[in-house]
Structure 1
Amino acid sequence: MASQEQNHLHFLVIPLGSPGHYIPTIDIAKLLAQHGVQVTIISTPVNTIRFGSILDQAIQSGLSITFLELPFRYREFGLPEGCECLDDLPNFSYAKALMEGYASLQILVEQHIEKLERKPDCIVSDSFMLWAGETAKKFQIPRVIFDGMNCFTQMCNHMLYLSKVYENVGDSDTFVVPGLPDCIELKKSQLPFTFNSGSRHNSDFSEKVRISEAEAYGVFVNSFRELEQEYADEYKRVKGDKVWCIGPLSLCYKDATEQVQRGNKSSINKNECLEWLDSRETGSVIYACLGSISRVEPDQLVELALALEACKMPFIWVVRAGHKSEKIEKWIDENGFEERTKDRGLLIRGWAPQLLVLSHPAIGGFLTHCGWNSILEGICAGVPMVTWPQFQEQFYNEKLVVQVLRIGVSVGAQNVVHLGEEEKSGVVVKSEDFKKAIEILMEEREDRRKRAIELSMLARKAIEEGGSSHENLRQLIEDIRNQTKIKDVS
């Protein structure tokens, strides 16, 4: 039971308009409220409808969560109407305009804060929302950032930034990331835009993010200590102990109805999906989903489809290709793919109820783009993975899954394909590479499955009362309460 003193704390939560960032930030808001904190979420009209409904049940149960809905001025920034989130954009050339639109909310948020009788005790914001740092400074409010990465990735970035080891190698040369508990080898071509010479135009923004993160009071991490203990300890040391692993955030949803609602309205009926899964043998299905903002080229998706067909095992494929969806749908139709595989394949267009799917006993493997939310959801479900990293920090995540945790098999991707540059990449993974990785995972999975299930059990313990993540969130709240007391006295 939360104490009366905790109920006086007020956190202002500012998500970023991208599903992989927005969804876990909403989860953080729910967890804070469960610990007795009053939470206000800064939102925009479309995002309130899309992401907010998942909290309806929590709000009705009495948790103190409110949405401060602010107008989003599409036309002023040249955005199509209704585009308030990265995956809503027609293409990624609009991404800069979307960020400018979000930056324009700063003045409205500050006007709101000025009107409050008591200022918020803490601001929780996405690390890419640089203006939130300015607002926190202006009102002298501690800011805790959230960027959706794990401690392993944070330490890879930290050691690369300090060592600059990547600067002295060619794009295809392998090097060891120095100073890590494990021997992690990468290629320059696999690094995120911060270190990748192919994206120099992002260097200024990356440096601003780094400075903003350094100025923050602390960092929320969607992970749990038992998953990456050495890296969590090192990252805490680097950040002066102000790191709180509070995940896995997705485990705050127990009910199947909530799991289906999380993120967006599912493109398939829950019962239809469950009936299909119920008809399959335990551990027999491969689930292939490449993330909420996937823009993989149709020709590359054809290679994946051919592999799923050639493997001769049941599969669920979440088909998503952004503004080029018509091209892959045309191939599916004209080549009779769906008809040929209808007895063992289920195609989902658009948003899939991923938590529901992964938690079903029929799922034996997860082919993933290595986004951290997806990986952590797979770990929570105890499902081993086929890894196909594509951009940003996803090659780091693959190393964690395949090499450190030993619960995955790589398809062998070699290069980052930066968002918006998919057309330049062509086909980077052939169908035989997908097929080989899938078959290794599904046919030789006992050890990986055992380790994944053990990690799943540790994940659930971490979020329970007395668990490491539960205690970390309690400690952060206590920390902010002490800061508030000091401020009130002074």
Structure 2
Amino acid sequence: MRLYQPYKKVSSDTDPFIIPNFPGQIKLTRKQLPDFVKEETSFAEFYEQVKEAELKSFGVLVNSFYELEPTYAYHFRKVLGAKAWHIGPIFLCNSNIEDKAKRGKEASIDENQCLKWLNSKKHNSVVYVCFGSIAKFPASQLLEIAMALEDSGQQFIWVVRKNKNDVRDNEVLGIGVAVGAQQWARVVDDSVKKEAIKKAVTHLMASEEAEEMRFRAKKLGEMARKAIEVNGSSHSDFNSLIEELRVSECRMLLFPI
């Protein structure tokens, strides 16, 4: 994007363009890009400073594993010439379940109650819905999601958080379903309607492709766990990082700048 600015070569915000010299024939529209990429904003200046600092840095640590997206990991290292070490998923390195459970804000539902409910359901029959800790939804969008989940007829657990007023608020990998969001936004609006969400949930759980997506997700999970084990790709990358830092430090001691 920074090198070729392909979004400037289309006639409208909805015309698709392909990211040049990038694997996978990734198509986007101008509407889907962050404002700081398309326009001169205060954040755009900060973004450029971050990218410049990244280029001058010793390298980049990636909280992922090589096998997840090998084509892009290779492109980043070999084509862009950036040093990178894939050392994740880091959260798998901690096997203490009790420690993980205590992270974040206290849940309003008892853990045993939740597990009891899950154990009463058929295997692979429950949808887990969570948008992380950053995304913010207006009440109207939360209502669309709630109605869609109810209308889908699928069992689900939806993790939501309280807002300040105390009111409770993916394609290359082949393990997700798009729901129709066509515009980038730092704060999510209510543009995704109930029918689109319902269709996506039903497709994810009850379509012919659902089993294949579930199989792929399971295989990726197994690969992630192997990556952090001894001699796994992330484990080896971490050792490689330590060795490069050690060698670099020795050189600086021998040949100070």
| TM-score of the two chains, using structure 2 as the length reference | 0.91
Contact 2:62 2:85 in 1 (8 A): yes
State the shift of 1:266 in Å.
3.9
Cα pair distance change 1:287/1:440, threshold 3 Å: same
- CA distances 1:328-386 after superposition (whole Å, capped 9, x unpaired): x5xxxxxxxxxxxxxxxxxxx8xxxxxxxxxxxxxxxxxxxxxxxxxxxxxxxxxxxxx
Identity %: 41
Residue of structure 1 aligned with 2:219, choices 438, 446, 454: 454
Query: Do structure 1's residue 254 and structure 2's residue 95 form an aligned pair?
Result: yes
Cα pair distance change 1:468/1:225, threshold 3 Å: same
Distance 1:483 1:264 in 2: 41
| TM-score of the two chains, using structure 1 as the length reference | 0.49
Task: Note the aligned Cα RMSD (angstroms).
Answer: 1.9
Distance 1:318 1:283 in 2: 18
Query: Do structure 1's residue 209 and structure 2's residue 50 form an aligned pair?
Result: yes
Distance 1:311 1:467 in 2: 40
Which residue identity does 2:87 align to in structure 1? I
Query: Do structure 1's residue 177 and structure 2's residue 19 form an aligned pair?
Result: yes
Query: Which residues of 2 match residues 285-434 of structure 1 at below 5 A?
Result: 285-320=126-161, 322-323=163-164, 325-326=166-167, 329=168, 398=170, 402=171, 404-419=172-187, 422=188, 425=189, 427-434=190-197
Distance 2:90 2:66 in 1: 13
SS of the residue aligned with 1:161? coil
Distance 2:165 2:16 in 1: 34
Unaligned runs of 5+ in 2: none
State the shift of 1:467 in Å.
0.5
- CA distances 1:106-147 after superposition (whole Å, capped 9, x unpaired): xxxxxxxxxxxxxxxxxxxxxxxxxxxxxxxxxxxxxxxxxx
Number of residue equivalences = 252
Query: Do structure 1's residue 233 and structure 2's residue 74 form an aligned pair?
Result: yes
Contact 1:462 1:468 in 2 (8 A): yes
Unaligned runs of 5+ in 1: 1-159, 330-348, 350-397
Query: Do structure 1's residue 243 and structure 2's residue 72 form an aligned pair?
Result: no
Contact 2:34 2:185 in 1 (8 A): no
What residue number does 2:32 align with? 190
- CA distances 1:173-230 after superposition (whole Å, capped 9, x unpaired): 2111111221111111111343134x73321111111111111110000111111111
State the shift of 1:247 in Å.
0.9
SS of the residue aligned with 1:244? strand
The structure where strand makes up a greater share of residues is 1
Which residue identity does 1:318 align to in structure 2? V
State the shift of 1:295 in Å.
1.5
Cα pair distance change 1:266/1:459, threshold 3 Å: same
Contact 2:55 2:82 in 1 (8 A): no
State the shift of 1:324 in Å.
5.5
Pick 1 or 2: higher relative contact order, CA cutoff 8 A, min separation 6. 2
SS of the residue aligned with 1:405? coil
Distance 2:204 2:7 in 1: 32
Cα pair distance change 1:465/1:193, threshold 3 Å: farther
Cα pair distance change 1:268/1:252, threshold 3 Å: farther
Cα pair distance change 1:286/1:196, threshold 3 Å: farther
Which residue identity does 1:300 align to in structure 2? Q
Which residue identity does 2:174 align to in structure 1? R
